A and B are shown apart, each in its own frame.
Chain A
Amino acid sequence: MADELTLEVNASTWTVTASPETPLLYVLMNDLGLLGPRFGCGLGQCGVCSVLIDGVEMRSCITPTSAVVGKSVTTLEGLPAYYAARMNVTPAPKLHPLQEAMIAEQAPQCGYCYNGQIIKGAELLFQTPEPSEAEIRSAMNGHLCRCGMYPRIMSAIQRAAQAIAANGIASSKETAEIANV
């Protein structure tokens, strides 16, 4: 049976009518109209549906909507603002440093998995601001990329870590210009 569920997504409050076991992904995609979290397997195996729930990366395709009531959901759309708030960066950047780095590295090919790659990479950078290669490999291991762009995602995470360490935001002028295309 459908219930009214009140959710906090990207720092806004939403009320949706959905059966409580509905996976959060379908609510985010179809009721809130978000483009970030997306369907990949529905099994929690690939990571393209990832969101942050109270700052922790979760697979929205297997997370019942009722389970996030009272918690804070952040999707790719809300990531820059969440980053700014959590890292106390003002003014809030348009993009998370990892997004800037993904563009600078020209990392994506099809781009479908990048929602999860960025969400997971951002979680890693919150937890471990200067991750080693081994830490990156370990953290990212549950996120598939079938275009095979793992090496560039690795480079982007390392680039973002450097940018965060430098200033909290990517400082490269070139990067900022590309981001505005």
Chain B
Amino acid sequence: MFERDDAPRMLRRRDFLKTTGVVVASFSIAGKLRAQTQPGGALVAQRGLVSGPPDPNEVDSYIAINADNTATIYSGYVELGQGGPTALLQIAAEELDLDFEQVKTVTVDTFVSTNGLTLASRTAAIGGTETRAAAAEARRLLLELASERLDAPVDDLTVARGVVSAGGDPRRSVTYAELVGDRSFDRKFEQFSYNGGIELPRKNADHAIPKRRDAYRIVGTRVPRPDIAEKVKGTYQFVQHVRLPRMLHGRVVWPRGQGAHGISNPTVVGIDGSSIKDIPGVQIVRRRNLVGVVAEREWDAVRAARQLKVTWAPFAAVLPGHEGLFESFRTAETNDLIDTDTGDVDDALSRGAHVVSSTYRGPYQSHGTMAPNCAVADVTTDAALIMCSSQALYQMRFGLAQLLSLPVEKIRLQYYAGSNTYGNSCYGEVANAAAVMSQEVGRPVRLQLSREDELGWDNYGPALLSDLRAAVDASGKLVALDYQAWVHATAWFETVSQLALGSPPPTGGFGVEAPGPGGAGLFSVHLSQTDMYEVPNRRIVNHRVAGAGYLRTGALRAPMDPSTFFALEGTMDELAYAAKLDPYEFRKRNISHPRWLGALKAATDAAKWTPRVAASELSNARIVAGRGIAVGTHHLPQNQGDRVTYAAAVVDIEVNKETGVVVAKHVYGAMDCGLAINPGIVESQIVGMSVHGTSLALCEEVQFNETNVTSLDWGTYQTLRFGDHPTVTPIVVQQLHEQSSGAGEEVLPAVVAAIGNAFFDATGVRLRQYPLTPSRVLAALGSH
């Protein structure tokens, strides 16, 4: 169960910044303390007094046993709407032998919670491992204490619902609360540690052994998500609902749609305050080039932001525009980084029985959050409280410290969910801007971005240009794969810092930096995105273009994987067609890993796949049907060895050859993410990814001209609508004894790629640029 503040709409200020305890009122000591007759450590110090993160090697940092024989889990992983925290509670309840209803968590808070990064598919994989280790350690200590109390060896103890019994005798029992309720564990243990997401071996052999997986009662079951009922009832408190006393409503004022990153930096030439003189009580807030308005009433702030006349230095006409984007990469100066080069690719290509050579294009796409981001900040002379929807609360403190000239430990962030984000939408920008504005006006500020702010100043998912050449031998076995990728460097979380500091941003880019125009970076094409295919001669080269002169980009759900798999799986389909092979059969000939084959089998079984060569049943009808298949995964440094997620999709589509409209009718999405902590939540993710992937493949593309982004609302940034959604059949390939890996990103690229392949099956025409919009479809069909 999740507990939230009991006065949700009007949080009491309660001097948060000086002496406050936990804001979220689920952890209470006063009046509940019992006399302790057994060792259980000292009274738990009240959380929330000082900045975290707490010691990761202390059980107390993760778990508290309450006097009512429940447990509170201080997880640092936030609820992004994908159900991760529910999975962590299942793990904790499982290891502690509590019922699910006996564990709860609290709002993630940098003065309270452990340090979790809720991104890059880490919650179940890394957060789950951490939670399991901490809970197992807590259970070990509880059993040691019970053994003393009950005068029985640990091996004779059993636990049910947090009640420990000796020898199965209910008269010889003690509750967790009687052992340590409201008191600390005072137990050190060696938590797992990670380097770039890769788990490091533990040095100390003495740590608690987690429960045998075949004894699981809660993990692996479909526990309903506790937040869903609140969301349906309308009692869930989103960040948009947070209100503080004395709070002002704010809006930012910046140019309509970002311009060229690093070149068209918004620069104020003048502000005409008289332009809003008819709106009483509005205050203009400015720090260098960060401009906003605040007002007591939100509508006054909204119309003042629209009406305020700010003259900006004109943006330079240097962007390539969304149509010219890809070709501009080819003429740019690049870092050419070889990711993989095995065998002799050129020689193998020259000797292949069937060789294909194609160029694929994947666009910039927006997070397009359902709600524009929002944050509430209260910055005083010596401290700051910021309520926001960041995926990385602890990490955000450093940029805020620079913006606010405050020590990091004086900055407190609390998580309140916004809408879907699936990566770094503008939640960081809005939190930074709210903090600066609050500091400027000396009052709490609630800053709500507009729809146009969010779509125009997003850190878009990166665009990718892919040149592929590949060959098979006469038996349809791959002999060569050459993947030449063009992508520009990323730049994120920096617009507001740049505006307010008036200087280059404190941080830019993502991943390993390298000299040269395009740096290096995580958002490149990697071996792990192609290595499901066995190819003796393989080369992957990333031609990295400098980020300046392009749009701001960042992580958008399975960053770049949809474009990579659209290209890779399109090429595999082209080869299958050239070799006159059924596309599923082609994959079975070239993939041997049992878990990849398992995902493919699950998807094709569900779809009742009938083997045939693609485009072998073309029709002259106005509306034609097609079916495509593809695999997918998400590249991350840690997704190797036993940490890979294996996804596959089969998609049925219809193409209207007169209108160019493509409709996805049915998506069969299968995923093996190792141990699925909650298969119901994983199925929900597959449904969401199937629809999101359909939207990416058919609708979504950031529009921009030479000066700035022009897709600023839901009319110009198209997204899949209710009427056009496919039926989805989600299939979870459960692996009880495997490591849990990511479950929120991997089906997405498979769906995008399968739609591309289905289009070829339906029409006999290969469309190598997505989204498959009506104009693109008509142009492709017309040229054949």
Which A residues are closer than 8 A to B by beta carbons?
A: 18-19, 22-23, 26, 29-30, 33, 35-36, 38-43, 45-46, 48, 75-77, 95, 99, 102-103, 106-115, 118, 137-138, 140-154, 178-181
Q: Can you name 9 extra interface pairs (CB under 8 A) apart from A147-B370, A148-B694?
A: A30-B249, A39-B372, A40-B451, A103-B232, A110-B81, A111-B232, A148-B688, A148-B720, A150-B725
Q: Are A22 and B299 in touch, CB under 8 angstroms?
A: yes
B534 CB-CB contact with A under 8 Å: no
A138 / chain B contacts, CB cutoff of 8 Å: 723
Question: Which of B233-241, B484-492, B774-782 is the contact stretch?
Answer: B233-241
Q: Are B723 and A102 in touch, CB under 8 angstroms?
A: no
Q: Are B8 and A35 in touch, CB under 8 angstroms?
A: yes
Assembly CA distance A144 to B232 (angstroms): 16
Q: Are B722 and A137 in touch, CB under 8 angstroms?
A: yes
Assembly CA distance A125 to B713 (angstroms): 30
Q: Are B722 and A141 in touch, CB under 8 angstroms?
A: yes
Given A33-B9, A149-B688, does the pair A41, B236 have CB atoms closer than 8 Å? no
A114 / chain B contacts, CB cutoff of 8 Å: 231-232
> Number of B residues contacting the other chain (C-beta, 8 Å)?
64
Q: Are A148 and B690 in touch, CB under 8 angstroms?
A: yes
Q: Are A41 and B451 in touch, CB under 8 angstroms?
A: yes
- Chain A nearest CB, measured from B679 CB (Å): 12
Given A30-B298, A112-B418, A146-B420, does the pair A45, B714 have CB atoms closer than 8 Å? yes
Assembly CA distance A154 to B302 (angstroms): 35
Q: Are A118 and B371 in touch, CB under 8 angstroms?
A: no
CB-CB nearest in chain B for A133: B727
Contact of B725 among A107, A113, A151 (CB under 8 A): A151
B228 CB-CB contact with A under 8 Å: yes
Assembly CA distance A178 to B227 (angstroms): 11
Which B residues are closer than 8 A to A by beta carbons?
A: 1, 8-10, 80-83, 224-238, 240-241, 249, 297-299, 302, 368-372, 417-420, 448, 450-451, 680, 684, 687-692, 694-695, 713-715, 719-723, 725-728
- In the assembled complex, 20 residue pairs joining A and B whose CB atoms fall closer than 8 Å, in A order, are A30-B298, A35-B234, A35-B237, A40-B372, A41-B372, A99-B232, A102-B228, A103-B224, A109-B83, A110-B231, A111-B236, A137-B722, A140-B723, A141-B723, A144-B719, A145-B370, A148-B691, A150-B720, A150-B722, A151-B725
Sort A-B residue pairs by CB-CB distance and give the 7 closest, nearest first.
A110-B81, A148-B691, A111-B231, A112-B419, A150-B725, A141-B723, A76-B234
Contact of A35 among B236, B370, B691 (CB under 8 A): B236
SS class, residues of chain A in contact with chain B: loop
Q: Are B714 and A115 in touch, CB under 8 angstroms?
A: no
Q: Are B713 and A41 in touch, CB under 8 angstroms?
A: yes
Given A40-B451, A103-B224, does the pair A144, B370 have CB atoms closer than 8 Å? yes
Assembly CA distance A76 to B230 (angstroms): 12
Assembly CA distance A114 to B227 (angstroms): 13
A140 / chain B contacts, CB cutoff of 8 Å: 722-723
A-B contact count (CB 8 A): 184
- Chain B nearest CB, measured from A33 CB (Å): 5
Assembly CA distance A147 to B695 (angstroms): 11
Assembly CA distance A41 to B454 (angstroms): 10
Assembly CA distance A113 to B372 (angstroms): 12
Assembly CA distance A112 to B227 (angstroms): 12
B81 / chain A contacts, CB cutoff of 8 Å: 108-112, 147
Given A35-B241, A43-B451, does the pair A110, B420 have CB atoms closer than 8 Å? yes
Q: Are B302 and A147 in touch, CB under 8 angstroms?
A: no
Assembly CA distance A38 to B369 (angstroms): 14
Contact of A145 among B237, B417, B450, B722 (CB under 8 A): B722
Contact of A18 among B226, B234, B299 (CB under 8 A): B299
Assembly CA distance A113 to B9 (angstroms): 19
- Chain B nearest CB, measured from A57 CB (Å): 14
Assembly CA distance A152 to B683 (angstroms): 11
- Chain B nearest CB, measured from A96 CB (Å): 9
Q: Are A41 and B691 in touch, CB under 8 angstroms?
A: no
CB-CB nearest in chain B for A101: B232
Contact of B714 among A41, A95, A150, A181 (CB under 8 A): A41
B726 / chain A contacts, CB cutoff of 8 Å: 151
A107 / chain B contacts, CB cutoff of 8 Å: 228, 232
Given A19-B299, A45-B713, does the pair A106, B82 have CB atoms closer than 8 Å? no
Assembly CA distance A58 to B337 (angstroms): 54
B237 / chain A contacts, CB cutoff of 8 Å: 35
Q: Are B82 and A38 in touch, CB under 8 angstroms?
A: no
Q: Are B715 and A103 in touch, CB under 8 angstroms?
A: no
Interface-centre pick from B80, B450, B684, B713 (highest chain A CB count, 10 A): B684
- Chain B nearest CB, measured from A105 CB (Å): 9
Q: Are B229 and A179 in touch, CB under 8 angstroms?
A: yes
Q: Are A108 and B228 in touch, CB under 8 angstroms?
A: yes
A150 / chain B contacts, CB cutoff of 8 Å: 691, 720, 722, 725
A33 / chain B contacts, CB cutoff of 8 Å: 9-10
Q: Are A118 and B229 in touch, CB under 8 angstroms?
A: no
Q: Are B692 and A39 in touch, CB under 8 angstroms?
A: no
